[in-house]
Chains A and B, each alone.
Chain A
Amino acid sequence: MLLQELSNLDGVSGREDEVRSYIYRKASALADDVYFDAMGSLIAVKGRDKRGPAVMMAAHMDEVGLMVTSIDKSGLLKIDTIGSIDHRVLVSKTVRVGKDKVPGVIGAKPIHLQEPDEQKKPLKAKSLYVDIGAKDKDDAEKVVSRGDVAAFDTKAGVFGQGCFKGKALDDRAGCSVLLRLLEMDFDLPVYFAFTTQEEIGARGARTAAYSIKPSLALVFEGTSAGDVADAKEHKQSTKLGKGPAITFMDRSVVVNRPLFTRLIEVAESEGIPHQLRQMTTGGTDAGPISLSRTGVPAGVISVPCRYIHSPVSVLNLTDFENTVKLASAVLRSIATRGLPSQ
């Protein structure tokens, strides 16, 4: 299962190598051409010589994680976060550090050693450390270095009623959608961009869009689902099981209205369950792509995921399949009806 394999790979922002190699193996068998840009994004081109507008389909390979900032005398690794992580989810989780995936545990001062006011506050990453079981600093430095990154040590898998759990579903879900689309044929040139460093500022997408020069772009994401506990209805944004979530606006983009309308039209005419992403916070690769060169209409379609940016998130596999369906139907619609017009 693509999603499972991708979720189990490590690719903290800036160190996407493992994910990129996996995607390269899959994509090179399916695309006309695969190339990498200087920022490390992988671009797989399919149907380059076909007539019709060039469409960019983007998903980011990177995930949130940790970076080792120093190693103390006792061999414990001081850490900082890469990308936005709720620091409260960190303590007592297991991680894999560096290229060699050295096993580690995120530790903290035990409660009886904490000052009374420390007990009242959530533990910040700066007061946490990764314990790799080293004897001392010299011992630790044999296997890790400052600047190494750590990813959550989570095994992905299917569970419950058609659900899937794993780390980095934001955005391995999007990467899986793109790989599935690569297996299909469309009557227009499609540029599949697997981008880097989205979690720290949508950086890879900027340079990828500049080289691709697309006429239209669609970004595939794992987005936050808030259908949990006692969250108020109007603050839930998306819900599991209600289909792919279509964005009308987020912090990085106001989705081109004709494109937004086309996405809804296609979902409705094909009978694909869908929902709107009912909040405007958070940014995606669609931001920098839409501002590339003279501007690109860019939309976002997301698989709703609970608990994103944490060691384990949850999605609904039917939502995932419906996202693939919607994406392929949109590409067919652009091939037959052309670009959505202003």
Chain B
Amino acid sequence: MKDLVKRLTSISSPSGFEDEIREAIKSEVKDYCDEIRVDALGNLIAVRRGTGPKIQFAAHMDEIGMIATDIDEKGFVRFSNVGGVSPHRLFGQRVRFTNGVVGTIGMEKLDDIKELNLDKLFIDIGATSRESAQELISIGDCATYLHGFDDLGQRIVAKAMDDRIGCAVLIEAMRRTEQCQSEVYCTFTVQEEVGLRGAATSAFGIDPDLGIAIDVTGTGDTPESRRMAVSLGKGTAIKVKDQSVIAHPKVKQLLVDLAERNGVPYQLEVLTAGGTDSGAIHLTRDGVRSGVISIPSRYIHCPSEMVDMIDVEASVKLVSLVMSADISEALQ
């Protein structure tokens, strides 16, 4: 499982540039599904045939990043954000473009650190002129943090844990689930970080009876953190509400009941800032009953996001239980 997370987090695939991660996930899941397809926006949809109602699981493949907007005569690259990238987290970071070119982020002279914004930062790719920079990258090319995976024992840390850990949980659940009662659509979505876009079009195509996103959520267990009743290591988080969705009470209850009956550690989650793919899925067509299974994560959108294997394992179990359960009660 850790190896899978390491493989997935090592790939640079920001929103709109998911080709590499899609190919990687395709090769991980192709032996564990009956059908696999890619839609117009690039969502990867792996289908497990069944006779029951349709469940859509969604874990997003994309990650936050930077996009080149200008190259100056000395070869410095100006950039804009792709998703929730903060200038304070960027300064001094090493980044990698999707074509493999590496750079580091420098900053203009500032009189006061409060003046820091993305316009004051640039990527130095080691070029000595505009021409030599243009041989390496083009305007419109995308980059992500360049940070490795570290195994800290019970906890692991990497870039893009949001939401490669969700992808890993969904892949592992597909592998472990022998028999699905429902028809299960495992969706690895695109462009979540720029507005839940892949989830919207994939859900329209699938037309599911039930939708469950698998994504990271914040925690309130670090020094002087914002109060939040979710901690690392206390189990998978069953979402009650965030800014994009209020979990359908029956879907939330289905998840709680499955966790209780099978001894899966869980915590209830109310996230006050942020949203996820269920926000788009539950508003599709005439509405889809939706919930979210979250993996608690520290330092979300930083180059080093941390999760706990107890929570990861609990999330895999809960996703697998939903795949094999009779969900008809949640649909009544």
| B-binding residues in A (CB < 8 A) | 233-235, 248-249, 254-257, 260, 276, 278-281, 290-297, 342
**Shortest CB–CB separation between residue A225 and chain B, in angstroms?**
15
* Other 7 A-B pairs with CB < 8 A, given A233-B72, A279-B80, A295-B40: A234-B70, A249-B80, A256-B41, A276-B140, A293-B205, A297-B40, A342-B19
Are A278 and B201 also in contact (CB < 8 A) when A248-B67, A254-B15 are? no
Q: Are A249 and B140 in contact (CB under 8 A)?
A: yes
Bound form: Cα–Cα A98–B20 in Å: 54
Q: Are A294 and B205 in contact (CB under 8 A)?
A: yes
How many chain-B residues does the 8 Å CB contact rule pick out? 30
Interface check B187, CB cutoff 8 A: no
Scan B129-144; emit 1 where CB is below 8 A from any A CB, else 0: 0000000000110000
Residue numbers in A under 8 Å from B43 (CB-CB):
295
Are A249 and B139 also in contact (CB < 8 A) when A254-B194, A294-B204, A342-B42 are? no
Q: Are A254 and B191 in contact (CB under 8 A)?
A: yes
Residue numbers in A under 8 Å from B40 (CB-CB):
294-297
Q: Are B197 and A249 in contact (CB under 8 A)?
A: no
Q: Are A278 and B69 in contact (CB under 8 A)?
A: yes
User: At the interface, is chain B mostly helix, strand, loop or mixed?
Assistant: mixed
Bound form: Cα–Cα A280–B65 in Å: 13
Residue numbers in B under 8 Å from A295 (CB-CB):
39-41, 43, 198, 201-202, 204-205
Residue numbers in B under 8 Å from A233 (CB-CB):
70, 72
The list of the 7 closest CB pairs from A to B, nearest first, reads A254-B16, A248-B140, A295-B201, A295-B40, A234-B70, A295-B41, A294-B205
Q: Are B139 and A278 in contact (CB under 8 A)?
A: yes
Are A235 and B119 also in contact (CB < 8 A) when A249-B67, A254-B191 are? yes
Interface check B78, CB cutoff 8 A: yes
**Shortest CB–CB separation between residue A186 and chain B, in angstroms?**
22
Interface check B302, CB cutoff 8 A: no
User: Total number of A-B contacts with CB less than 8 angstroms?
Assistant: 70
Q: Are B70 and A293 in contact (CB under 8 A)?
A: no
**Shortest CB–CB separation between residue A203 and chain B, in angstroms?**
16
* 21 CB-based A-B contacts, threshold 8 Å: A233-B70, A254-B17, A255-B16, A276-B139, A276-B140, A278-B69, A278-B139, A280-B67, A280-B80, A280-B81, A281-B80, A290-B197, A291-B197, A292-B201, A293-B201, A293-B204, A293-B205, A294-B205, A295-B39, A342-B19, A342-B42
Question: Who on chain A is nearest to B69 by CB?
Answer: A278
Indicate which residue in A249, A276, A294 contacts B201 across the interface (CB closer than 8 Å). Answer: A294
**Shortest CB–CB separation between residue B71 and chain A, in angstroms?**
9
Indicate which residue in B16, B69, B197, B201 contacts A234 across the interface (CB closer than 8 Å). Answer: B69
Residue numbers in A under 8 Å from B139 (CB-CB):
248, 276, 278
Interface check B186, CB cutoff 8 A: no
Interface check B200, CB cutoff 8 A: yes
Indicate which residue in B39, B70, B191, B197 contacts A294 across the interface (CB closer than 8 Å). Answer: B39
Indicate which residue in A256, A290, A293, A342 contacts B38 across the interface (CB closer than 8 Å). Answer: A342
Scan B70-82; emit 1 where CB is below 8 A from any A CB, else 0: 1010000010111
Bound form: Cα–Cα A296–B205 in Å: 12
Bound form: Cα–Cα A297–B41 in Å: 7
Scan B174-201; emit 1 where CB is below 8 A from any A CB, else 0: 0000000000000000010010011011
Q: Are A257 and B17 in contact (CB under 8 A)?
A: yes
Residue numbers in B under 8 Å from A234 (CB-CB):
69-70, 72, 78
**Shortest CB–CB separation between residue A229 and chain B, in angstroms?**
17
Bound form: Cα–Cα A175–B313 in Å: 55
Residue numbers in B under 8 Å from A249 (CB-CB):
16, 67, 80, 82, 140
Q: Are B140 and A260 in contact (CB under 8 A)?
A: yes
**Shortest CB–CB separation between residue A85 and chain B, in angstroms?**
23
Scan B12-42; emit 1 where CB is below 8 A from any A CB, else 0: 0001110100000000000000000011111
Residue numbers in A under 8 Å from B202 (CB-CB):
294-295
Q: Which of A233, A255, A280 has the most chain B CB atoms inside 10 A of its CB?
A: A280
Residue numbers in B under 8 Å from A276 (CB-CB):
139-140
Question: Who on chain B is nearest to A279 by CB?
Answer: B69
Bound form: Cα–Cα A235–B80 in Å: 11
Residue numbers in B under 8 Å from A278 (CB-CB):
69-70, 139
Residue numbers in B under 8 Å from A257 (CB-CB):
16-17, 19
Bound form: Cα–Cα A233–B77 in Å: 12
Residue numbers in A under 8 Å from B69 (CB-CB):
234, 278-280
Bound form: Cα–Cα A147–B204 in Å: 37
